[in-house]
């Protein structure tokens, strides 16, 4: 049985404290590609210098998934069209010499986000045959930026688990740093995938902690985006009052580049109307080495000191010291009046309404229309 470890988080950005030590070089067309912690900038530099191309990179990542995912169990399906897309992008780049923001960057997508031609199951056997005909709004935006959907990742069934990543469709995902431990929460498949160097960037969803938790457990940077900033349309909901979608990447820079693409108004998610006129022309303009100077970062001790693992407690305190040394003002601690009562009753009371709305809008299957249908379907698998 997998052990669960409680991890303290720094809100919004999860700071990686370790990096996977296991490395594997993939040989493609006599060109060695070192996949270890590749970033968007690394890849685009390689494309410009002719070190490798999109097709070779997709082949290398695909081989790594085949070599290692048997142990990690993070990937639910490889995209059979990824290589064809990569070849087309290589042809385009050869003709134009232009690299779009995510040109040829392999991305791993959580299995509750509609991706045309690939199953979107939300980890449930009830949706095992649901294959969307159209991409979710954010996937369209990423594809327009020339990202390559290389695979989809396992998740906690219906995104309900606050601790581990287990589904009836794909089983249990393990943490690549130590397979006796969990990758954490519902986006653990994406977190474990990026930590395992199965892709360059990833997408997760977060209702309570499901981007931030797996990012912490897998030494990544994860953004829980502001409600209304990024569209949730064509994403299987858990609790639309709290649901968001965001990037999970190796670096702040890569996560920022993904956010820059996916942020924006979508008529199918009315909440994004609130973001109109408030999104800067560029998020990458804020990537400055001294950006923490003068920043005020609060420490919610009522949460962070709630029986943490001693090792994690030490690392948390170390991170606070590092923030201070980088010029931030650490406000230790912050008190939220009534926090104990505010955090109660945060469960997903409207789940029926939210998920049945998704089924009606996207699945459109007469045999799977209600919660009762989902429960009934599970009896026959």
In terms of DSSP H, where are the helices of 252-362? 252-262, 301-304, 310-325, 339-342, 351-358
Q: Which of 153, 193, 210, 219 is catalytic?
A: 210
Nearest one of 186, 16, 9 to 112, comparing CA atoms: 186
Interatomic CA distance for residues 121 and 356, integer angstroms: 14
Q: Is 325 a catalytic residue?
A: no
Q: Is 186 a catalytic residue?
A: yes
Q: What is the CA radius of gyration of the chain?
A: 20
Query: Which residues in 155-172 are b (16+ Cβ under 10 Å) and which e?
Result: bbbbbbbebbbbbebbeb
For 7, the token pair is: 């991890």
- Strand stretches in the chain, DSSP E: 25-28, 31-34, 75-78, 106-110, 148-153, 166-167, 171-172, 201-206, 221-222, 244-249, 296-299, 329-332
Q: Is 210 a catalytic residue?
A: yes
Q: Which of 54, 124, 161, 186 is catalytic?
A: 186
Interatomic CA distance for residues 119 and 135, integer angstroms: 11
Residue 75 contacts by C-beta under 8 Å, 6 or more apart in sequence? 65, 69, 108, 151, 152, 153, 154, 189, 193, 198
On whether the CB atoms of residues 139 and 147 are closer than 8 A, the answer is: no
Catalytic residue annotation: 110, 186, 210
């Amino acid at each position: 049985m997998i052990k669960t470890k409680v991890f303290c988080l720094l809100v919004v950005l999860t700071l990686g404290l370790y990096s996977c030590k296991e490395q594997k070089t993939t040989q493609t067309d006599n060109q060695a590609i070192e996949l270890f912690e590749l970033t968007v900038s690394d890849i685009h530099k390689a494309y410009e210098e002719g070190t490798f191309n999109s097709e070779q990179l997709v082949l290398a990542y695909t081989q790594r998934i085949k070599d290692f995912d048997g142990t990690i169990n993070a990937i639910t399906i490889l995209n059979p069209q990824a290589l064809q897309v990569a070849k087309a992008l290589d042809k385009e780049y050869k003709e134009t010499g232009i690299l779009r923001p995510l040109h040829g960057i392999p991305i791993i997508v959580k299995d509750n986000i509609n991706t045309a031609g690939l199953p979107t199951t939300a980890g449930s056997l009830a949706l095992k045959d649901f294959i969307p005909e159209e991409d979710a709004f954010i996937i369209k935006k990423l594809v327009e930026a020339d990202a390559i959907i290389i695979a989809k990742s396992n998740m906690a069934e219906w995104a309900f688990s606050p601790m581990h990543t287990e589904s009836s469709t794909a089983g249990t995902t393990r943490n690549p740093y130590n397979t006796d431990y969990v990758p954490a929460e519902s986006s653990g498949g994406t977190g474990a995938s990026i930590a395992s160097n199965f892709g360059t960037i990833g997408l997760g969803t977060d209702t309570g902690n499901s981007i931030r938790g797996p990012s912490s457990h897998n030494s990544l940077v994860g953004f829980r985006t502001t409600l209304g900033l990024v569209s949730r349309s064509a994403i299987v909901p858990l609790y639309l009052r709290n649901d968001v979608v965001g990037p999970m990447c190796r670096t702040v820079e890569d996560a920022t580049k993904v956010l820059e693409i996916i942020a924006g108004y979508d008529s199918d998610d009315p909440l994004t109307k609130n973001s109109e006129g408030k999104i800067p022309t560029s998020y990458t303009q804020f990537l400055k080495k001294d950006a923490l100077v003068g920043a005020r970062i609060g420490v919610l001790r009522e949460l962070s000191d709630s029986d943490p693992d001693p090792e994690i407690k030490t690392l948390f305190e170390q991170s606070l010291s590092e923030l201070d040394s980088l010029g931030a003002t650490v406000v230790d601690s912050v008190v939220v009046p009534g926090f104990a009562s505010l955090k109660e009753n945060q469960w997903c009371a409207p789940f029926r309404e939210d998920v049945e709305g998704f089924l009606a809008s996207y699945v459109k299957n007469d045999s799977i229309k209600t919660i009762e249908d989902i429960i009934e379907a599970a009896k026959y698998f």
